[in-house]
Structure 1
Amino acid sequence: MSLVPLLTSDEFSSVDQPALTQGMRAYGEVLNTWAGIGNSPGLLATYLPFLRQVNGPGSLDGRVKELVAVRVAVLNHCRYTTSHRCTSALAKGVSVDELTAVAGGDLGGFTEQERLALRLAEEMTVSLPAVPVESGLTGVSTDVRDEAQQVFDAAQLVELVMCISMWNALSRFHRVMAFELDMPEPPAPVAAQL
């Protein structure tokens, strides 16, 4: 059961209605995360455009964004986010075998750039919250950070770190909110990692 009531489309604030209408055009329904966010008027109007900007086309390959989003969702043990990100990744050509590998941390079949992005995603998700500033200013290993600066340009790095950060925030939000799935279950081997 969701932590907050889920709003119907007519219960959203007038400030959120344009974003909601645009979202409903894309998905054909009010997603549960939006229905929860709607409890704070004005938040959806900021959230959806930001999400589209970070997750949409940019300097960083969209496939990399999809892979890191799935990895972050799985590492945070969030069924809702994993469902959404797997649905998106599958629609964009990522295979079930690749999703299974990402979920299990088996990076051998990915490109150098994808592997590095997935390593950074894992460090930002698992290590960063546990590393005090005295032990490491950035919370990620020097090796991964240095390698990322060599492999990605500045625009790609900003998009990658923002993408990883956003999916960490959202998967934690979704998990605590306990939204019911509104997209298909993640593939069974991925769900087994949750």
Structure 2
Amino acid sequence: MALVPLLTSDQFSSADQPALAKGVSTWGGVLNTWAGIGNSPGLLATYLPFLGQLNGPGALEQRVKELVAVRVAVLNHCRYTASHRCTSALAKGIGADELAAVARGELGGFTDKERLALQLAEEMTVSLPNTPLEKGLTGVSARVREDVQWSFDAAELVELVMCISVWNALARFHRVMAFDLDMPEAPVEVENQL
């Protein structure tokens, strides 16, 4: 059961209606995340365009964005986020076998840049919250930090770190809110890793 009431489209504030209409036209209905966010008037109007900008075409390869989002969802053990991110990744041509490998942390079949992005996603998700400042200012190993700085340009790095950060925040939001799935379950190999 969701932590907050899930609003119907007519219950959203007038400030959120344009973003909601655009989201519904894209996804075919009100997603549970939006229905929860709608309890804070005006937030959806900021959230949807920001997420669309971040997850849409940009400096960072779309494939990298999709892969790190799935990895973050799995590391946070979030069925809702995994469902959404796998649906997106599959629609963008990433194979179910690749998603299963990402979920298991088996990165051998990916390009160097993809592996590095996935390693950064894992460190930001797992290590960073458990690394006190005196043990590491960034919470990320110096090796991974240096490698990503060498492999990605500044625009790519901003998008990569922001994508990882946003999916960490959203996976945690989704888990605590306890939204029911409103998209297909993640492939079984991904689901088994949650």
Taking structure 2 as the reference length, the TM-score comes to: 1.00
Give the superposition deviation at 1:60: 0.3
CA-to-partner distance for each residue in 1:45-96, whole Å, 9 max, x for gaps?
0100010111111000000000000000000000000000000000001001
**Corresponding residue for residue 59 of structure 1:** 59
**Corresponding residue for residue 138 of structure 1:** 138
**Corresponding residue for residue 69 of structure 2:** 69
What RMSD over aligned residues (CA atoms) do the two structures have, in Å?
0.3
Give the superposition deviation at 1:25: 0.6
**Corresponding residue for residue 32 of structure 1:** 32
CA distance in 1, matches of 2:188, 2:148: 32
1:134 match: secondary structure: helix
**Corresponding residue for residue 42 of structure 2:** 42
Structure 2: runs of 5 or more not aligned: none
Give the superposition deviation at 1:159: 0.4
Give the superposition deviation at 1:134: 0.5
CA distance in 2, matches of 1:189, 1:63: 19
CA distance in 2, matches of 1:106, 1:150: 23
The amino acid of 1:80's aligned partner reads Y
The amino acid of 1:132's aligned partner reads P
Give the superposition deviation at 1:7: 0.2
**Corresponding residue for residue 99 of structure 1:** 99
CA-to-partner distance for each residue in 1:13-57, whole Å, 9 max, x for gaps?
000000000000101100000000000001000100010111111
The amino acid of 1:182's aligned partner reads D
Give the superposition deviation at 1:189: 0.7
1:69 match: secondary structure: helix
The amino acid of 2:190's aligned partner reads V
Give the superposition deviation at 1:180: 0.3
The amino acid of 1:117's aligned partner reads A
**Corresponding residue for residue 109 of structure 1:** 109
Query: What fraction of aligned residue pairs are identical, expressed as a percent?
Result: 77
**Corresponding residue for residue 147 of structure 1:** 147
The amino acid of 2:51's aligned partner reads L
Structure 1: runs of 5 or more not aligned: none
Give the superposition deviation at 1:101: 0.2
CA distance in 2, matches of 1:148, 1:27: 33
State yes or no: 1:182 paired with 2:182: yes
CA distance in 2, matches of 1:178, 1:94: 27
CA distance in 2, matches of 1:171, 1:177: 10
**Corresponding residue for residue 79 of structure 2:** 79
The amino acid of 1:40's aligned partner reads S
CA-to-partner distance for each residue in 1:157-179, whole Å, 9 max, x for gaps?
00000000000000000010000
**Corresponding residue for residue 10 of structure 1:** 10
Give the superposition deviation at 1:127: 0.2
**Corresponding residue for residue 20 of structure 2:** 20
Give the superposition deviation at 1:110: 0.1
Deviating runs (4+, > 4 A) in structure 1? Answer: none
Give the superposition deviation at 1:131: 0.2
**Corresponding residue for residue 159 of structure 2:** 159
